[in-house]
Chains A and B, each alone.
Chain A
Amino acid sequence: DTTVKQNPRYKLARVGKPVNLICSQTMNHDTMYWYQKKPNQAPKLLLFYYDKILNREADTFEKFQSSRPNNSFCSLYIGSAGLEYSAMYLCASSRRTGGNTLYFGEGSRLIVV
């Protein structure tokens, strides 16, 4: 079973309000990722967990937080949503070693108004 589930699929948020997106995987992968996808742009890696170690990309370091309470679950947290956070958020999982396939969820579409 190669399943990655994301909730919610759609989220409407007000500017300044928090947003929490959830991801789960059933493949016992050691690494989970969050990507942000905006129209006509490449998916952009925001952060990833290897086991319990959080790695955030330099240019998104202060904008997103995350937690991984166990191997199967990972969340993406925005403390105060701005209009620029409107995007599709894709969760993925894989084994750590380079070249392994990433398995993606269907995404969470966030609209900030």
Chain B
Amino acid sequence: GDSVTQTEGLVTLTKGLPVMLNCTYQTTYSPFLFWYVQHLNEAPKLLLKSSTDNKRTEHQGFYATLHKSSSSFHLQKSSVQLSDSALYFCALTHDSGYNKLTFGKGTVLLVSP
């Protein structure tokens, strides 16, 4: 079945530094990849999504490129802010059957002053 791997459980950074959160996936279907962000006591919200190979997707300063050759969809930002502190989920669905989302375990990003 489908799976998503996020290798970092916790990333701590000083504001202004760049960040990359890793995400790799496995599926036998054509994938749709998502990044969701969940701030404390809030609902998970869509940050980015993509199904196009080798095309960079950007939103709110974050960006990611789906690479089907390496089954990756890493999330990056060039300069993190205090407000970026949150839980980030990578997730996968595909174009076969129902729209069932498979999640990674999530990465907590903590940004300090």
Interface residues, chain A, with chain B CB atoms under 8 Å away: 4, 31, 33, 35, 40-45, 48, 50, 55, 90, 92, 94-107
Contacts and interface: CB of A to CB of B under 8 A. Distances in A.
Interface in B93-108: 93-106
A98 B99 contact: yes
Mostly, the B contact residues are loop
Shortest beta-carbon contacts, A-B, top 10: A99-B32, A98-B95, A42-B103, A104-B44, A104-B43, A43-B103, A106-B43, A42-B105, A98-B99, A101-B46
A112 to B, nearest CB: 21
A32 B45 CA distance: 16
Given A33-B101, A98-B94, 14 more contacts: A4-B43, A42-B106, A48-B98, A55-B98, A92-B101, A98-B95, A99-B51, A99-B95, A100-B99, A101-B49, A103-B43, A104-B36, A104-B43, A106-B43
